[in-house]
Amino acid sequence: MIFFDNVSYQYTERQESLKEINLTVNDGEVVLVCGPSGCGKSTLVRCVNGLIPHFYQGILTGQVTVGGKDVSTTTLRKISRHVGTVFQNPRSQFFNVDTTSELAFGCENFGIAPEEIEQRINTVVNKHDMGHLMDRSIFKLSGGEKQKIACASIAVEPVDIIVLDEPSANLDYKGICELQKMIASWKEEGKTILIAEHRISYLFPYITRALLMNDGRIVKEYTSKEISSMPEDKLHELGLRAEKMTDPSDIKISVCDHTGQEKLILSDMKYSYKGEKPIFDIPRLEIPSGEIIGIVGANGAGKSTFLRCLCGMERTCKATLTVGSERWNNKMRRRNIYMVMQDVNHQLFTDSVLEEVMISQDEENKEEALEILEALDLREYADKHPLALSGGQKQRVAVASAIASGRSIILFDEPTSGLDYEHMLQVSRLLKQLQEKGKTVIIVTHDIELLRNACTVTIKFDNEMYRTDARM
Amino acid sequence: MEKNNRLNAKDLINVGIYTAICAVICCAVAMTGVIPVMMLLLVVFVPIFTGIPYMMFLTKVKKFGMILILNTLMGALMWVTGMSWYALAVGTVSGLIAELIYRAGNYSRKWNGIIAYAISGIYCWANYFGIFFNAEAYFSTRQNFGQEYIDAVTGLLPVWMCPVLLVVDIACGIIGGWIGTKILKKHFVKAGIA
Amino acid sequence: MEYRLNRDVHSFLDPRTKLLLLFTSSVFVVGNAGEKWMFVFYWILVYLPVLLLFIEKEWKAGLISIAIYVGSYFAQTALQNDLTAIESVLALMLYIITKILPTVILARYIVKTTKVSEFLAAMNRMHVTDKLTIPISVIFRFFPTVAEESRAINNAMRMRGIEMGAKKSTEAVEYRMVPLIASCSIIGEELSAAAMTRGLDVGKRRSCIWKIRFGIFDWIIITLCVTCFIWWGIGRFFI
């Protein structure tokens, strides 16, 4: 049982807070905590797993009780015996390098007998059919596989409460299906589950109720039925993502005619990891220029790698892109195509937003840089450090420097992973702005809503490799 | 936050992370050490380049022991990757001294941090001990180098160079630490992550 | 197909043996203790890591190492007497490489074949404090992360045309270092949070699913290492 008695919390270093939370979660319940980003849902979850007050700095008032114990007076180690946590970012939640040890890690920390851990691992692995993931290096797994290991390692632990903090943020369709199965089996075992999430439709079959949060408060409570029958626009109004689960390979694409339109022609692109069979092999692909092109496809089809190859970052991949009368090799593509990476942190280098835009210009021109910032709503942040901004703002800074670089083709790798509805719309407006400027925008995404909202052309990537472009 | 002064898992993980970053940078710099002249310049480059991550590390240090452990591990890594065991011994002692200096500054004062960094970095200088204290043995196994070269090197490295290198190392440590605090202020403090 | 966990560690040697070997190798190969007196052991310790590579089926790395050894041996004999300064420099470089290579191979072998969990347990049995073992295991875990992150940053720099030496070199260093440290510090924070919610703590008894014990090969290596030290002792104090 989880019990919040008039709990308020304020981080020392951050804006978000919790205000006067009263909540009781009974054993065996599956509760969804939803709301737009910054509403406090992650903060609420951190009160349950003890990271608040034991890890993050801030001021907590009121009392949180988990399984009869007061969280603030129980050590994190003792809480963790009862509460297991799955985090948002699969790359940073592993302590071990190999998957099998990671599964055992929690139990080992509690000093559970090896024979018992062995048995638990066998049960979980067979139940979820993940033998092929065992004894592997976590650095060689895909995002979805990592998240599955993260879930399984919690399943191995003898905990009775499981909290998930935006577990689907970095997952594609297949990954979410796996996550669903995991949650279903926990529910069956009678565990109490608390999920913070804004992409919610995949959870409808399992939840017993949903709490809507806004600005640190629980503003509304819905039964499972109420929320799952809510129309799309109502969910959007609440800042939630409404997309129904759609298998990208089921996306219907009708061929349409781009004759007469100028095209970029990609030819002879082949890529394989050392000594393995090629992950894609594209003899010829026509990309209509000046459009917003969405690339969708099944998991593991190498979409991100495709983008890296397209902008000339992968040295071993040789390909040519014909633009008008020019033929671009790797080096030319690197100079003429701009890529906004999934983790924008990697591509922001300077100490102010303005500077960041200016180093991209061929010749530094402050006026023009400020204009670009103005157009992207970043004018007021010109002097701020790019790393101090929110995720969405960082992305806009990257786009601003893309515009400043004057390059005509801009690539995006999963620009909306983990974003709520409002922020997704923002991105989609941004993409349209770029199109208006005459840029060709190419996006790799598993976000169906973004695809519907922004993309004018869709290219489907599957194991057969690329094919078909069309309007959705 | 746990109020007590025992090191917890978070502190130890931080030590591990920054040791890894410093080690990677050291390693990248030390690669150039195969070129003999560069070997002498290691006391210049290593302290300057590791200053940035080290200063970032110091912002995470609030309890006794973290600097000491980082230094011991750096010394041990130096040793197993082909420097002398002196690096471990000197690194441990200098780590302890650095720890005390930084603690005297309440784990926050800027110049205590810079000095602590400069002192702790002398494990780098300790790598030359093999040449100074044991020059004959050092070159006896290197007979094939030709007397000209041995003379050149021993000429470059008379025993009095030993304290000179120490001074150079500490000076570069201070410069590196100072640059580190500059970068810290310019970037990490401004960005709100330090 | 049903999965059954095999608790026998697949690695050939116990972590403790590996560390002893690394220690011995540091003393006698890199540290050059005993010099000519240790001639035979010296060469055993130089070639043993290559053997380990072969046992791990890393044929390519193993063959390359042997090629380097043999090549530099002949180069060194060729560069024997009355060298010009440049030849001396070359000889010294070869010498340093051959000295360091065995320990580097060994260190890499250890990192690659030792599971974090196994390492923690082995160190625990030797009563080494968590204050050293936890950071060391994080270092293991973090090397690939640092490499991954810096590769991504490097790519981003190339794409944006800010390459090493392109503009000011101080900026090239700053631009590389700042995102790397920022990114690592964020990952570190999340890693600590995750590890602590899974019960990692200092000074608590842990269990270990891997069966760690000394096998026949461990004893062989241990005997070798101990003999090295005894032989060195004899040479040092009695002759």
Sign (positive or negative) of CA dihedral C94, C99, C104, C106: positive
* Distance between CA atoms of residues A196 and A202, nearest Å: 13
- Of C110, C107, C122, which is closest to residue C210 (Cα–Cα)? C122
Any chain C CB within 8 A of the CB of A316?
no
Binary contact (A351, B186; C-beta < 8 A): yes
Is pLDDT above 70 for A268?
yes
- Of C220, C215, C218, which is closest to residue C18 (Cα–Cα)? C218
Chain A residue with the nearest C-alpha to that of B187:
A351
- Residue intervals in chain A for CATH 3.40.50.300: 2-237, 248-471
Any chain A CB within 8 A of the CB of C4?
yes
- Our count of domains for chain B comes to 1
Phi and psi angles of residue B2, each rounded to the nearest 5 degrees, phi first: -70, 130
pLDDT of residue B31: 73
pLDDT of residue A467: 46
Closest by Cβ to B191, choosing from A54, A57, A387:
A387
| Separation of first and last alpha carbons in chain B | 17
Task: Please report all neighbours of A, defined by 3+ CB atom pairs within 8 A.
Answer: B, C
Residues 6+ apart with CB under 8 A from B158: none
Write out the residues of chain B at the interface with chain A, using a CB-CB cutoff of 8 A: 1-2, 10, 186-188, 190-193
Give the lowest-confidence range in A133-142, A266-275, A434-443.
A266-275
Any chain C CB within 8 A of the CB of B10?
yes
Residues 6+ apart with CB under 8 A from C192: A55, B9, B10, B13, B14
Bond preceding residue A53 cis, omega within 30 of 0: yes
- Segment A85-140, tens digit of pLDDT: 999 888 889 999 999 999 999 999 999 999 999 999 999 999 999 999 999 999 88
How close, in Å, is residue A163 to chain C by CA atoms? Answer: 11
Binary contact (C160, A347; C-beta < 8 A): yes
- Segment C50-98, tens digit of pLDDT: 899 888 888 888 898 888 888 887 877 776 666 666 776 777 777 777 7
Which range of residues forms the domain containing residue B78?
A: 9-128+163-191
Contact (Cβ atoms closer than 8 angstroms) between residue B58 and residue B117: yes
Q: Quick one: A248-471 is in which CATH superfamily?
A: P-loop containing nucleotide triphosphate hydrolases (3.40.50.300)
Domain A2-237: give its CATH code: 3.40.50.300
- Segment A361-415, tens digit of pLDDT: 888 888 889 988 988 888 899 999 998 888 888 888 998 988 888 898 999 988 8
How close, in Å, is residue B105 to chain A by CA atoms? Answer: 23
- Segment C175-233, tens digit of pLDDT: 888 999 999 998 999 999 999 999 998 888 899 999 888 888 999 999 999 999 998 88
In sequence order, what E strands does A224-336 have? 254-255, 263-271, 280-288, 292-297, 320-323, 326-328
Is pLDDT above 80 for C164?
no
- C174 chain-A contacts, CB cut-off 8 A: 349
- Which segments of A313-407 does DSSP mark as H helices, in order? 330-336, 353-358, 366-375, 391-404
